Amino acid sequence: MKILVVDDEFVSLQKLSLLLSAYGKCDAATNGEQALEMFRIAHQQNTPYSLITLDIDMPGMDGPTVAEHIRQYELESGITSMEQQGKILMVTAMTDGKSIMSSFKKGCEGYLNKPFNEETIRVSLANIGIL
3-class DSSP string for the chain? CEEEEECCCHHHHHHHHHHHCCCCEEEEECCHHHHHHHHHHHHHCCCCCCEEEEECCCCCCCHHHHHHHHHHHHHHCCCCCCCCCCEEEEEECCCCHHHHHHHHHCCCCEEEECCCCHHHHHHHHHHCCCC
Q: What is the CATH number of the domain that holds 110?
A: 3.40.50.2300
Domain assignment of residue 71, given as a range: 2-127
* pLDDT tens track for 23-65: 999 999 999 999 999 999 999 999 999 999 999 989 899 999 9
Per-residue confidence (pLDDT) for residue 80, from 0 to 100 = 81
pLDDT at 47: 96
Res. 109: pLDDT tops 80: yes
For residues 85 and 96, give the distance between their C-alpha atoms in angstroms, rounded to a whole number.
27
pLDDT above 90 for 106: no
Based on the structure, what is the number of domains in the chain? Answer: 1
What proportion of the chain, given as a percentage, has pLDDT over 70?
A: 100
Please tell me the pTM assigned to this model: 0.93
Question: Beta-carbon neighbour count of residue 45 at 10 Å?
Answer: 8
| Nearest one of 92, 107, 108 to 58, comparing CA atoms | 92
**Taking the alpha carbons of 88, 59, 113, 119 in that order, is the dihedral positive or negative?**
positive
Please give the mean pLDDT across all residues of the chain. 92
